[in-house]
Amino acid sequence: MTVKNDSSVGATIARVTGDAGGARVPSLARRLLGRPSTGMVAILFVLVAVFSLMRPEAFLGAYNFRSIALAASVVGVMAIGQTFVLATGGIDLSVGSVLVALRDLRGLRIRLAACLHACVLGGARS
């Protein structure tokens, strides 16, 4: 009795699935192109390349990266909080509306603070 020791991945898949013709394992490129996120990553790289060519001194600068990180931090913190809510089995659809309400209140507070400072400084001059 001859025992054939074929330890290739294709042979293993053929044994498990019962495919006598031998299954072919898709290449890395085929697996990556089959994912939906690959298109989004490709679009991101194209956008970075286009904007880098348009204004390389501004787009790839430290100030721009800091501005992008600062703008994304609020949404990132909210996303982390929502992840914990969903991981514990709950559901909370009010996260977006709370974010908008807090931004509106912050803007109102800044406007009122500026008005208050102007009134105090204007009253001190009189």
- Is residue 12 one of the residues assigned to a domain? yes
Q: What is the pLDDT of residue 118?
A: 67
Residue 41 has a pLDDT of 86
CA 34 to chain centre: 20
Domain contains 46: no
In a domain, 1, yes or no: yes
Rounded mean pLDDT of the chain?
75
**Domain annotation covers residue 82:** no
Assigned domain for 68 exists: no
Inside any domain, residue 63: no
The answer to whether residues 96 and 79 touch, using CB atoms and an 8 Å cutoff, is no
**Within a domain: 15:** yes
Q: Looking at the 3D structure of the chain, how many domains does it have?
A: 2
Q: Higher pLDDT residue, 117 or 98?
A: 98
pLDDT of 15 reads 63
For 19-72, what is each residue's pLDDT tens digit? 555 456 567 777 777 777 888 888 889 998 998 899 888 888 888 889 889 888
Inside any domain, residue 61: no
pTM passes above 0.75: no
pLDDT at 46: 92
Range of the domain at 8: 1-34
